[in-house]
Amino acid sequence: MIALTLAEIAAAIDGRLVPGRDGSTAETVIAGESQTDSREIEAGQVFFARRGEETDGHLYVPQAIERGAALLVVEREVDDRIAQIVVEDATEALGALATESIRRARAGGSLRIVGITGSNGKTTTKNLVAAMLERAGFDTVASAKSFNNEVGGPLTMLRVTADTEALVAEMGASAEGEIARLTAMAPPEIGVVLSVGLAHAGEFGGIETTFRTKSEMVRDLPDTATAVLNRDDPRVVKMAELTRATVCWFGQHPDADVRATDVEADAGGTRFTLTARLGEHPVSEESRQVRFPVLGEHHVANALAAAAIGLGFGLSIDDVVESLESTVLAAPGRMQVLGGRDGITVINDAYNASPDSMSAALKTLALVARPGARTVAVLGAMSELGEYSGEEHDRIGLQAVRLRISELVVVGDAARRLHISAINEGSWDGESVFFADADAAYDHLLETLRPGDTVLVKSSNAAGLQALGDRLGEAYA
């Protein structure tokens, strides 16, 4: 965090300062990161005691103090051993402090902010961009894990210091206005929209609401900013009409400024030709061959978005390609290749799932399997689809059959309709099996997998199949 006195923090979050018995005063300087989980506290940090649905952060103040917290942000006075700032709402205060810290960082340094949103691919793209900028020597802060909401976003922003040159922030939402709130805290110079799909459509209330929500990323960008938009997504294309920023298109469309052609995917990753329009007067084009080691053709879009951002930071096309080709793993649980014993390959892609990413993963499974070998899709439910849930699970079941997946293993009652749809397609005789839980599915797979099989494990995080994928990977390591 940008160093601030207790008085400055209290003013920023509209709180009442209560000095502690540790000798702190209004002029005491705080520069540590902020946490909402007492187990994560380190010496000198700030603990925000949030009240949640499951528990109350105020109950964990003693643990935070014992772990070295220097300041408490609370909604009631709880412990006078260290300084407290009492506020109306700790979550609102967290956002307010992040806003002030980012404002000071931008005013006093060379901080540039990248905001990334989309129905799919945020975390993968964020990781690619952060690795690219760090490799190029930029002092970079990026969202940890998938910290992209009203809590995770500010916690990431509060890791920015006076030396930070790049903040790469995922900005997600479960309702309209949430992305706008995050962009107000940390106004991007580069705003990225990857896709508009059915992920979280149930929470948003429909695809049009999803569109409006995702477009908040670019609506308020100034004309000095850049909107990096997916030319292959018709809904994202419409966002060009809603922004004053300069638009940089990425995708496989011929009009894209950063585009991929000659895309070929196999079990080792994806090969494509990267072409970028560079310069302004006159514009020139340069092309390079890329061997991107992340499995799945659908991740090419994430690589292109990352390339556009890297070029926007002044990297050469060769620097961009070198970074993409050095990628080890886009993110745990995302098309993560495991196993290997007896030629059995396990693709663990169960960190999250939407209809688009589920469809893309199944296509990848069908594409990368060895000739003549079996393909096994272990699928769980796709969450947060609302009224679309039934028809989308039906569609995935039908797709698995039509792609000639050798065996479909469906796990969990919430995904049962997928299993029934596959059976009703009429093409199979027992190739689709259903299990109520992951343990039963694991036992079945251990008994039935054959040498040379390629296994995809895919579901939303709530279905809990990522651990199943990890177990299979260990079993066949």
Q: Which of 65-79, 394-408, 419-433 has the lowest mean pLDDT?
A: 419-433
The CATH 3.40.1390.10 domain(s) of the chain lie at 4-88
Q: Does 120 belong to an annotated binding site?
A: yes
Q: For residue 142, give both structure tokens.
A: 């990026």
Q: Does 352 belong to an annotated binding site?
A: no
User: pLDDT band at 344, cuts 50/70/90?
Assistant: very high
Q: Does 238 belong to an annotated binding site?
A: no
- Can you tell me the mean pLDDT for 228-242? 97
pLDDT at 367 over 70: yes
pLDDT at 430 over 70: no
Q: What CA–CA distances, in Å, run from 455 to 82, 379, 427, 431? A: 53, 10, 20, 14
Q: For residue 283, give both structure tokens.
A: 């514009």
Is residue 257 within 8 A of residue 276, CB to CB? The reply is yes
Q: Does 427 belong to an annotated binding site?
A: no
Spatial distance between the Cα atoms of 76 and 86, rounded to a whole number of angstroms? 6
pLDDT at 204 over 70: no
pLDDT at 201 over 60: no
Spatial distance between the Cα atoms of 276 and 317, rounded to a whole number of angstroms? 8
At 111-152, the pLDDT tens digits run 999 999 998 889 899 999 999 999 999 999 998 876 788 899
Residue 295 pLDDT? 86
Residue 200 pLDDT? 52
pTM across the whole model: 0.86
At 41-100, the pLDDT tens digits run 999 999 999 987 778 999 999 999 999 999 999 999 999 999 999 999 999 999 999 999
pLDDT at 199 over 60: no
CATH 3.60.15.10 for domain 109-325, yes or no, is: no
CATH 3.40.30.10 for domain 4-88, yes or no, is: no
- Can you tell me the mean pLDDT for 275-282? 83
| Domain 336-475: top CATH class | alpha beta
Of 241-255, 335-349, 373-387, the range with the highest mean pLDDT is: 241-255
Residues 6+ apart with CB under 8 A from 58: 49, 51, 74, 75, 76, 78
Spatial distance between the Cα atoms of 27 and 170, rounded to a whole number of angstroms? 34
Q: Does 424 belong to an annotated binding site?
A: no
Q: What CA–CA distances, in Å, run from 225 to 101, 114, 170, 274, 453? A: 21, 10, 17, 24, 48
User: pLDDT band at 281, cuts 50/70/90?
Assistant: low
- Can you tell me the mean pLDDT for 304-312? 98
pLDDT at 415 over 80: yes
The CATH 3.40.1190.10 domain(s) of the chain lie at 109-325
